[in-house]
Structure 1
């Protein structure tokens, strides 16, 4: 066999291994300041979760979690939301000198419970304006980032409706290809599915299950297992509302990170991404998972 043949055969083996590895998201938890963004990316994250607070009138105020929050974490970091989004855009734009190639997903945990019910629709419209200006640069952005927007409860569906009404009004529905959605509330999964069917226009759906790291060791895995079964058995051709990805939160100890990975989750929210990186390199997982990148499609079900 010639050296060229050996190289080609080796390349084919690598491609086959890569195709069988689940694209995985190491999601940094509660990343609410510019300083934290770089710290978590440097620790191995390819996705970040950020909290956004609102006024009762529906205006996005800042990135901020506040008390209570996870054990052994400082709850008070914050940033102007416009500054945070613009910094994120720079980090995810290949032509920018700040480009971080591994940064693929931003999860926005919207504190929609702070918005009065009558202002949820308006809040969704205003949020389109915020993202369009500061993340998508009026459609001119070359950022490779995908965004997963999370509302807190299924009764906050008017926020999502307002968001899509505003995109349609502006003629910018194409940015929906960069946006996915989830509901943070730990309600029955069928109720979440019914919400998306009622709204009708949302297809890039993620599911998540979990609890604060202070209590995660006590939580049953049953809901996560049900979500994964639904994901794997769903046929996108006949049901466009299939959940594309399922992630677990919030786990820091390696024991529980391993347990999550054994369930075939697509991602884990963690306060200690270095722990997760080390677990992913273990023999049990290193051929099963690979870190997703910005070229992976987060709106597809891995098969």
Structure 2
């Protein structure tokens, strides 16, 4: 698959990311990446809905995503970045940022900006800008 992608779209490939997230187990996500030989630019998203963001073990999956990405768990080294969806409340967005996720999807960007202004969040995260690479982790110091 990647050979076909790069042959036809080599100019765009450096800007292409991959996500087999959703509600599948992290093991299944890893198998999907391996099956199509994707070895980089891998994002894993977890979520449910903005009404019930922590339903059905979503928070535990987000914790596992961060632990896998950071090399604290074996068997899931395929995660390059993790994000949560769909978080609309400022408190939910702040909670996930403090968990260590790389991003959130929201219907209310102003709530994400408000979360980033919270003192305990502002020390560890910032809004990405146009010069930031989606493939490089933004690391902050506390």
Structure with higher RCO (Cα < 8 A, 6+ apart) = 1
For normalisation by structure 2, the TM-score amounts to 0.82
- 1:205 is the counterpart of 2:11: no
Distance in 1 (CA, whole Å) between partners of 2:80 and 2:62 is 14
**1:278 counterpart (114, 125, 129):** 114
- 1:232 is the counterpart of 2:70: yes
Q: Which residue of 2 aligns with 1:189?
A: 26
Indicate if the aligned counterparts of 2:82 and 2:102 stay in contact, CA closer than 8 A: yes
Q: Which residue of 2 aligns with 1:165?
A: 4
Note the C-alpha offset of 1:289.
Answer: 0.9
Q: Which residue of 1 aligns with 2:104?
A: 268
**CA deviations over 1:60-91 (Å, ceiling 9, x no partner):** xxxxxxxxxxxxxxxxxxxxxxxxxxxxxxxx
Note the C-alpha offset of 1:270.
Answer: 0.9
Indicate if the aligned counterparts of 1:244 and 1:298 stay in contact, CA closer than 8 A: no
Q: After the TM superposition, which residues 136-155 of structure 1 pair with which residues of structure 2 at under 5 Å, given as runs? A: none
For normalisation by structure 1, the TM-score amounts to 0.41
Does the residue aligned with 1:248 lie in a helix, a strand or coil? Answer: strand
Note the C-alpha offset of 1:184.
Answer: 3.5
Q: Which residue of 2 aligns with 1:222?
A: 60
Q: After the TM superposition, which residues 51-200 of structure 1 pair with which residues of structure 2 at under 5 Å, given as runs? A: 161=1, 164-168=3-7, 170=8, 172-200=9-37
Note the C-alpha offset of 1:174.
Answer: 4.0
Does the residue aligned with 2:99 lie in a helix, a strand or coil? Answer: coil
* Structure with a larger share of its residues in strand: 1
Note the C-alpha offset of 1:300.
Answer: 2.7
Q: Which runs of 5+ in 1 are unaligned?
A: 1-160, 235-240
Name the CA shift for 1:210/1:201 in 2 (closer, same or farther; >3 Å). Answer: closer
Name the CA shift for 1:199/1:285 in 2 (closer, same or farther; >3 Å). Answer: same
Note the C-alpha offset of 1:179.
Answer: 0.6
Note the C-alpha offset of 1:186.
Answer: 0.9
Note the C-alpha offset of 1:217.
Answer: 4.7
Distance in 2 (CA, whole Å) between partners of 1:204 and 1:225 is 20
Note the C-alpha offset of 1:302.
Answer: 4.2
Distance in 1 (CA, whole Å) between partners of 2:101 and 2:3 is 29
Indicate if the aligned counterparts of 2:47 and 2:54 stay in contact, CA closer than 8 A: no
Distance in 2 (CA, whole Å) between partners of 1:287 and 1:265 is 14
Name the CA shift for 1:200/1:284 in 2 (closer, same or farther; >3 Å). Answer: same
Q: What's the Cα RMSD here?
A: 2.3
